[in-house]
Structure 1
């Protein structure tokens, strides 16, 4: 009988559910998929317009399009490429405008736009910003990263966000704010933060307008702050007692760590890491609760001069449990230069190294390994192992000195601007890793990916 009624009505049981339940079901899929349900029946035609998460990420669409252009070959001129890109930008603008005009939401949980846009589209972008804030958005993201440099946000594309373009109602419900390639000034961002009492996550990338960023208010809920590649930033002042995680990548900048007593996770990269490493004995006094430290040491080892640093003799990061190092490696130097840093973390139980390589015609002998005792270190991960002197001797050093070692994970991939994905080199690296297993009797402790 049920089957006959469904056939007569032309509806299924799912369509008989209340709107609230159907919208809840739609929230479990992407917005694009939700919009496609409008063709199912008259009952579903407008349901997607109540979708609470407006994820308008067009970056994958742009990447696929650019791949098609590259497949055409070098015959296409840069002028023609820009013309085609402008057509894609116009299509993206029209799509976002259509979604917002169709939306029947009073409150938006998430609003995210991601595409390669610039100030030519300011009137539309201003309209999007007003829409999101008037809908009491909780998670707000603008990402206008250039397709030319999707990683570092340092392209020529930016959006001059003026104070007038930000209508700040008396009560803003933002919990997450992400601005990439958005030219947001100190005043605007501080105003944003001060008027967002529930803000937990703040990310700013590639802003050329930030000079002296101050995160005010000890009572803020702010737990995560990320500032990357803001090339004109001179200072970063943090007053956030609840801050748990901080990531800074960029030029050497005056950063105040004095008012973030509960910080447990810190990531440092760019040129600032040189200053950070050399001044860690002093800076570490502000890191009494720090449990995870990630250093992106993406410079050639001989620039770092760690051999001249004498301050690793005493524990300086007593609570640190995880240490991640992204290192540019060469047999000119030795990864053993980083061993005093490991010794300065007596509670360390996980060490992760990511190695990038650059060529060097200079070869050296294996160095004499220093004797020390890492009583807490249990897990070691090395990505980019190639089986050369520099990575092999460091593995041996850890095998001999990490008395409680339970697992050593080696990923024998070759990361180099000269050789990428060479199968023979990868297999040779695996053979070198297997030699470590047999020579040092570490058995199942060694895992080779």
Structure 2
């Protein structure tokens, strides 16, 4: 504590780029730390990182032992632009206004009812909000100047009402069923949603007004129970028929015997220009199909220009998908095929980036796809 107070005295009224404090004994000296928090707010800190993580304590399960941190402790932090809080109960202060704060990141925190709304109202220039592995109230309402929002694997929340006129990007990774209400988001263009299970999210009726607005949609689909039928097309895509960019990640613990039906998938987005498909198998390898399926007739996807296919191993279903795209996309310019993938919805070790085919496998795939494109401009790149 003496060292902390000496630091705050030494740098008082000076500009400091970043202060980072990680400790687990704050609750043993609450008054001393409260005093230090207030003194550090008088230092010209631009980025402040405060983590109160204690071994074995899981905030989502037990919040009774967490430090209760009031934003009032930082009331004099007039230069603070980026704030990161971890492992605490965040208490808002309606009387305090953080006009300089542009980024707020909360990890493993607990937010009570309307606390988040109060915090957002206190940050008149906040642009980016990230909340991960935290306990949230049943209902959330996002408003204010926020432009980018990310919720990663939070618990407790069931509904979120988006009433943010400047919101541009929304990312949500959800554990349980969450209903989204797009009440007023006139600038929303990028939406990313991944469920823990196949029915973990639901877009409210207001999502239909986003038809001509959202340009990029990224969906994660879990396919653990897939047998010989194609992965079910997410119905949410039908609400975004004006998409220009679609990224679909199929996540499974076992082999995916059939991919999504390409005619239905691409037909749901008639204006699609860029399509990214990632196949992520967590435990076992892919195997070839052993049964056929009844497919709808092919459609012409005349806007499609670029396709990326990651997690590709050359199974029959994967080759059929690639051949279908080549044959039905007359404006196609580039198709990238690679066994490597990026799982946007996981920070686990199975996320891989730099895999590549051996020469024999690359040549075999290239030969099967050669000359099959309807577009004269199409270039197939097998990595």
Q: What is the TM-score with the length of structure 2 in the denominator?
A: 0.73
8 Å contact kept, 1:332–1:364: no
Report the counterpart of residue 21 of structure 1 in structure 2: none
Q: Work out whether 1:274 is the aligned partner of 2:217.
A: no
Report the counterpart of residue 77 of structure 2 in structure 1: 135
Report the counterpart of residue 300 of structure 1 in structure 2: 224
8 Å contact kept, 1:49–1:103: no
Distance change (3 Å), C-alpha of 1:243 and 1:55: same
Report the counterpart of residue 182 of structure 2 in structure 1: 257
State the distance in 1 between where 2:13 and 2:368 align.
Answer: 59
Question: Aligned ranges for residues 384-403 of structure 1 at < 5 Å?
Answer: 384-403=311-330
Q: Work out whether 1:162 is the aligned partner of 2:91.
A: yes
State the distance in 1 between where 2:305 and 2:327 align.
Answer: 13
Count of paired positions: 349
Choose from 185, 188, 197 the match for 2:124.
Answer: 197
Report the counterpart of residue 215 of structure 1 in structure 2: 142
State the distance in 2 between where 1:267 and 1:307 align.
Answer: 19
Residue 350 (structure 1) shift = 0.7
State the distance in 2 between where 1:321 and 1:301 align.
Answer: 30
Report the counterpart of residue 375 of structure 1 in structure 2: 302
- Hey, which of these two has a bigger chunk of helix by percent? 1
Distance change (3 Å), C-alpha of 1:414 and 1:256: closer
Distance change (3 Å), C-alpha of 1:215 and 1:103: closer
Q: Work out whether 1:187 is the aligned partner of 2:110.
A: no
- Hey, which of these two has a bigger chunk of strand by percent? 2
Q: Work out whether 1:340 is the aligned partner of 2:269.
A: no
Question: Aligned ranges for residues 8-19 of structure 1 at < 5 Å?
Answer: none
Distance change (3 Å), C-alpha of 1:186 and 1:300: same
State the distance in 2 between where 1:428 and 1:215 align.
Answer: 53
State the distance in 2 between where 1:440 and 1:267 align.
Answer: 33
Q: Work out whether 1:364 is the aligned partner of 2:290.
A: yes
Distance change (3 Å), C-alpha of 1:183 and 1:398: same
**2:324 counterpart SS class:** helix
Q: Work out whether 1:290 is the aligned partner of 2:217.
A: no
Residue 168 (structure 1) shift = 4.9
**1:391 counterpart SS class:** helix
Residue 254 (structure 1) shift = 2.0
CA offset digits 1:33-53 (Å, max 9, x no partner): xxxxxxxxxxxxx89994542
8 Å contact kept, 1:253–1:272: no
8 Å contact kept, 1:243–1:262: yes
Structure with higher RCO (Cα < 8 A, 6+ apart): 2
State the distance in 1 between where 2:131 and 2:339 align.
Answer: 34
State the distance in 1 between where 2:38 and 2:204 align.
Answer: 52
User: Which of these two proteins has the greater Rg computed from alpha carbons?
Assistant: 1
List runs of 5+ in structure 1 lacking aligned partners.
1-45, 59-87, 91-96, 145-157
49-58 vs 430-439, which moves further: 49-58
Residue 284 (structure 1) shift = 3.5
Choose from 100, 111, 117 the match for 2:48.
Answer: 111
Q: Work out whether 1:434 is the aligned partner of 2:373.
A: no
Residue 100 (structure 1) shift = 8.3
State the distance in 2 between where 1:101 and 1:376 align.
Answer: 57
Residue 110 (structure 1) shift = 2.1
Q: Work out whether 1:447 is the aligned partner of 2:381.
A: yes
**2:118 counterpart SS class:** helix
List runs of 5+ in structure 2 lacking aligned partners.
1-9, 26-32, 58-62, 344-348
**2:317 counterpart SS class:** helix
Residue 325 (structure 1) shift = 0.7
Residue 369 (structure 1) shift = 7.9
**1:381 counterpart SS class:** strand
State the distance in 2 between where 1:328 and 1:382 align.
Answer: 14
